[in-house]
Amino acid sequence: MSQDNIQDQNADANIEITPEMQAFYQRADAIIGIANSQLGPEAHSGQVGASLLYAAARYSASVASIGFVKGDDFAKEKDDIVEFYVKQYRQMLSDNLTDYAQNFDKYVQLNQDDKPAE
């Protein structure tokens, strides 16, 4: 979901977009742009999506390790860390699926506009 779509969704809910939220969506859009740039004859959206999930998991593991001094202490927190990230991902995925369903015709049209003429 792009920043513009989030702004449209939040405008409907009368939610003010703070500078922090704006920066959050800009970072997400930049990462989505990198993922989209990987699409082509060598990689379809499912493959790129799998790589993106792996990258998110790898980066999240690194972020979660910050502040730990010993690997054993970090390992003891593994279940709580996994629970935290899964809960966050589930909510974000659910919100984006709802948004995509509500704006399906608009998003499908945008995706078709991006395809080269055959």
What are the tens digits of pLDDT across the range 20-54?
A: 999 999 999 999 999 999 999 999 999 999 999 99
Q: Is the pLDDT of residue 105 over 70?
A: yes
Q: What are the backbone dihedrals phi and psi of residue 40, each rounded to the nearest 5 degrees, phi first?
A: 165, -165
Q: Which helix (H) or strand (E) holds 12?
A: helix 3-12
Binning pLDDT at 50, 70 and 90, where does residue 99 land? very high
Which pair of tokens denotes residue 29?
């859009």
The pLDDT of residue 58 is 98
Report percent pLDDT > 90 for the chain. 76
Q: Name, in order, each residue with C-beta under 8 angstroms of 52's C-beta and a sequence gap of 6 or more.
A: 31, 35
Nearest to 56 by CA among 36, 30, 95, 85: 85
User: What's the whole-number average pLDDT of the chain?
Assistant: 88
Q: Name, in order, each residue with C-beta under 8 angstroms of 9's C-beta and a sequence gap of 6 or more.
A: 99
The pLDDT of residue 5 is 52
The answer to whether the beta carbons of residues 32 and 13 sit under 8 Å apart is no
